[in-house]
Amino acid sequence: MTVRAFLRKRVHAMAVVILCLVTMLPTVIMPPSAVMAEGGTFPDEPFNGMQINYDISGATVTDTSDEWGFTTSRTLSGTLGTGQLTVSGSAKMGNGYDADVSATVSCGGETDQFTTNIPSGFPGFNEESFTISVPIPAGATGGSFSISMTGHYNAGDRGLVVSGTFGADSETSVPSPTPPQTTEDPPPGPLIDSLPAVDFTKGGIMYITKVEGNPIYISADSPSLPPSQRNWVKIMPGEYSTTSGNSLFIGEHWTVRTPSGAETVMRTNTGAVYRQKERSWFETLPPTRDSLTFLEAAGRVIEGAGNFYFPRGEAGAKKYEISLNRAIVGIKGTNFVVEVTEDSDTVKVIEGSVEFTAYDYDETVTLEAGKQATATDAGISAVSSFDVDEEKSYWQSFYEDLEDDNSSDPDSRNSWVDQLTSLWESFINWFRSLF
């Protein structure tokens, strides 16, 4: 055998070996069932002193969506892997009073959860770490996780959320039913069993007539306390309603919190109706007195969205005010919507008219039906128009309830609550006449 033939044979053999190695190494180093960890920090800079670090294993993230607002959120989606669905990371707080933290991971009917409260470390940060994990069963059709922070501040609450939903790989999984996972926001503070009795000798009393979706929370403690230091009572959907005749009365300076997925309807003792959307805070206020004239103050919207309906006629002729963070709304027989965010207060008038006054500026605008205005730290914006029908469709169930009330037999609406209200107003009028 010549030297050239010998070398050609050896080179061919080495090429075969290298080709085999190239083919086999990915399988040895990275088995097909393995899923790389996904992670990040959100947001890049702390949001109101809050920031979340997270790592996810057992799933592949294919899409990310961020939303900025009063509650700032990051939503992930992707494909579920095998083995364990694990979420680890940390949450830190460096502003306000403190933050409630809740982390949850779910798959195949099993859930693991972590909760804590982190005091503010201002001017630095306090931080807590967590690791939660659940097995991914064979045939699992999906999994999910959520890391939620609710920061408590002097001006109200702010939220920061990182969540994700992972579907099964259609090529490798066998469909099987997975029970839906319902996640409730943690209570704003310690839970107690019952609320104190309401003082019916005072004005400004409201009562809960409906709770929908998730439970709501009510506190009778002073609003000057941070939410985490107040005692709260958890009110379940269907627990109180006008149809069952067991409305829940709300006293002066009580706070009603509707967390994610919860809504509630409240009424005043003079017929006004208020529907509060999710992620909102409302504080009842007592009536104020100017000489011998009482001003019926329904309350203060601290954050979120609400729809107010004030009846026409004798009850609607009363003067009402709704307090916001940067402005006050004066009402006389009307229907309007308020939207309170971190940066602005917006009023949209559905019917009638309101007076919109900024706290820090000598500025008042009158809004008629179909008009809106926004108050910021710089004052009140120019009045603009909005689509009334589109706004009403957003509150469709609220208007359906109002129509049901108005179409019912007047005698059936003359409940003991209305009789008590009538007697109380007669007494007030007699008392005023003495001075």
Q: How many CB atoms are closer than 10 A to CB 191? A: 11
| Range in 141-145, 153-157, 269-273, 417-421 with the lowest mean pLDDT | 417-421
**Domain match, 100 and 225 both:** no
Q: Is residue 1 part of a domain?
A: no
SS3 sequence of the chain: CCHHHHHHHHHHHHHHHHHHHHHHHHHHHCCCCCCCCEEEEEEEEEECCEEEEEEEECEEEEEEEEECCCEEEEEEEEEECCEEEEEEEEEEECCCCEEEEEEEEEECCEEEEEEEEEECCCCCCEEEEEEEEEEECCCCCEEEEEEEEEEEECCEEEEEEEEEEEECCCCCCCCCCCCCCCCCCCCCCCECCCCCCCCCCCCCCEEEEEEEECCEEEECCCCCCCHHHCCEEEECCCCCCCCCCCCEEECCCCEEEECCCEEEEEEECCCCEEEECCCEEEECCCCEEECCEEEEEEEEEEEEEEEEECCCCCCCCCCEEEECCCEEEEECCCEEEEEECCCCEEEEEEECEEEEEECCCCCEEEEECCEEEEEECCEECCCEECCHHHHHHHCHHHHHHHHHHHHCCHHHHCCHHHHHHHHHHHHHHHHHCCC
Rounded-to-integer distance, Cα 97 and Cα 425, Å: 41
Strand partners, 148: 102, 161
pLDDT in tens, 308-332: 887 665 444 455 667 777 777 776 6
pLDDT tens-digit map of 67-84 = 887 788 999 999 999 999
Structural domain includes residue 309: yes
Looking at the structure, do residues 253 and 384 belong to the same domain, yes or no?
A: yes
Question: Is residue 418, in this structure, part of any structural domain at all?
Answer: no
Range with the poorest average pLDDT among 114-123, 252-261, 290-299, 351-360: 290-299
Does 216 share its domain with 147? no
Tell me which residue of 300, 222, 303, 229 sits closest to 259, measured CA to CA: 303
- Band (393; pLDDT cuts 50, 70, 90): confident
Please check whether residue 99 lies inside any domain of the structure.
Answer: yes
Residue 288 and residue 225 share a domain: yes
Asked if 286 and 162 sit in the same domain, the reply is: no
Percent of the chain with pLDDT over 70: 70
Q: Once rounded to an integer, what is the mean pLDDT over residues 278-303?
A: 67
Average pLDDT over residues 373-387: 88
328 and 227 within one domain: yes
Q: Do residue 85 and residue 150 come from a single domain? A: yes
Quick one: CA torsion of 348, 391, 312, 277, rounded to 10 degrees? -90
**Does the residue 318 lie in any domain?**
yes
Domain termination residue (choose one: 140, 167, 194): 167
Residue 91, domain member (yes or no)? yes
Are 261 and 380 in the same domain? yes
Give the CATH number for residue 144.
Answer: 2.60.40
Amino acid at residue number 174 = V
Confidence of residue 245 (pLDDT cuts 50, 70, 90): low
CA distance 258 to 278: 5
For residue 26, being part of any structural domain is answered with no
Mean of the per-residue pLDDT values for the chain?
76
- Check whether residue 297 and residue 354 sit in a common domain: yes
Together in a domain, 157 and 97: yes
* pLDDT for the residue numbered 231: 92
Q: Into how many domains does the chain fold?
A: 2
CATH number at residue 309: 2.60.120.1440
248 or 269, greater pLDDT: 248
CA dist., res. 415 & res. 76, Å (int): 50
CA–CA–CA angle 132, 133, 136 (5° rounding): 160
Which residues are CB-contacts of 313 (< 8 A; sequence separation ≥ 6)? 333
Q: Which tokens is 337 given?
A: 């919507």
Within a domain: residue 106? yes
Rg, Å, the chain Cα set: 29
Q: Do 120 and 257 have their domain in common?
A: no
Q: Which residues contact 270 (CB under 8 A, 6 or more apart)?
A: 296, 315, 318, 421
Q: Does the pLDDT value for residue 15 go beyond 80?
A: no
- Which has the closest alpha carbon to 166: 197, 134, 191? 134
Residue 53's domain comprises 38-167
239 phi and psi, to 5 degrees?
A: -70, -35
Question: What pLDDT sits at residue 41?
Answer: 95
Asked if 141 and 215 sit in the same domain, the reply is no
